[in-house]
Amino acid sequence: MHRFAPILLLAGALVACAKQPPRPGAALPTAPDDRLAAVRAGEERIQSLRARFTSTTHLPDGERSVDGVLLVAKPDRFRLRLMLPLGITVFDFLSVGEQTWIVLPLGDERRRDADDAFAAFSRDDLGAAFLRGAYAFPGTCSASAGGADEVLVDCVADAASHRTIRIDRAGITEETSYANDTPRLRIRYADYRDVSGVSVPFHITLEYPQRRQSVDIAIDAYEVNPVLSATAFAPPPDTPPRRS
């Protein structure tokens, strides 16, 4: 599985559109199966999005902060751009189907900082965070009641890997991907608000427990289901794709 240096996500991300402040999302059903179904139905309503965010990456030797824009067009396209002040792009990550492109326009010290600023997330990890669907809910998933009005979901893809998901009345609070029963990637979501009739998290944290690396993403604005042109996902010129 190929790893890529920057991921800031998360990005999560989407460019705002509402003139009024987003409202808190509606509470989800209580029954485990109903809550899981409601979450998945809400995610299916999002077929495209655009977001702007600020991200801080925590590394053993310090922190890196950057602004970013994320574009998502389901089922298989997303683009992540990280920028310095004045809109100077330092990192451009594009994924279309099974192909990816990575461009670091700046070199030398700035390029090194861009490489260091983000954990090495894989294409599948980004798919879980942004494209959702089978990336986020692999294999067979079952829901059960947990403590404090929480629902626990266990998704089993194969004998060596599985994914657990925690859902409270607002939405998903935590997702953990395992490899041979060892936590590999953990994603936390908070501050859910309603945007265009869909509940979305405005704070996302991604971390690799074994690497002591994490990324905090504060979403500045979302645009849900915008019309995204094909040129928004055009591959960078003179850059060969990398197969994930």
- The predicted structure's pLDDT at residue 15: 29
Q: Which long-range contacts (CB under 8 A, 24 or more apart) does 167-174 make?
A: 167/28, 167/35, 167/36, 167/39, 168/28, 169/27, 169/28, 169/30, 170/24, 170/25, 170/27, 170/28, 170/199, 171/25, 171/28, 171/39, 171/42, 171/199, 171/201, 172/39, 172/201
One digit per residue, the tens of pLDDT, for the chain of length 244 reads 333 333 333 333 332 233 345 666 678 999 999 999 999 999 999 999 999 999 888 877 778 888 999 999 999 999 988 887 777 888 888 899 888 888 877 654 444 444 444 445 677 887 888 889 998 999 999 999 998 899 999 999 887 889 999 999 999 999 999 988 899 999 999 999 999 999 999 999 988 888 778 888 999 999 999 999 999 999 988 888 876 5
Overall number of domains in the chain: 1
**How many other C-beta atoms can be found within 10 angstroms of the C-beta atom of residue 66?**
21
Show the beta-strand stretches assigned E in 104-212.
121-122, 140-145, 151-156, 161-167, 172-179, 182-195, 198-208
- The predicted structure's pLDDT at residue 156: 93
- What's at 111, amino acid-wise? R
The domain containing residue 94 runs over which residues? 3-243
- The predicted structure's pLDDT at residue 23: 67
Q: For the chain, how many helices (H) and strands (E)?
A: 3, 15
Residue 34, helix vs strand vs coil: helix
- The predicted structure's pLDDT at residue 244: 53
- Report pTM: 0.81
- The predicted structure's pLDDT at residue 111: 46
- The predicted structure's pLDDT at residue 115: 46
Cα atoms in the Cβ-side hemisphere of radius 13 Å centred on 167? 25
Q: What is the CATH number of the domain that holds 229?
A: 2.50.20.10
226, 50 contact by CB (below 8 A): yes
The 8-class DSSP code of residue 23 comes to B
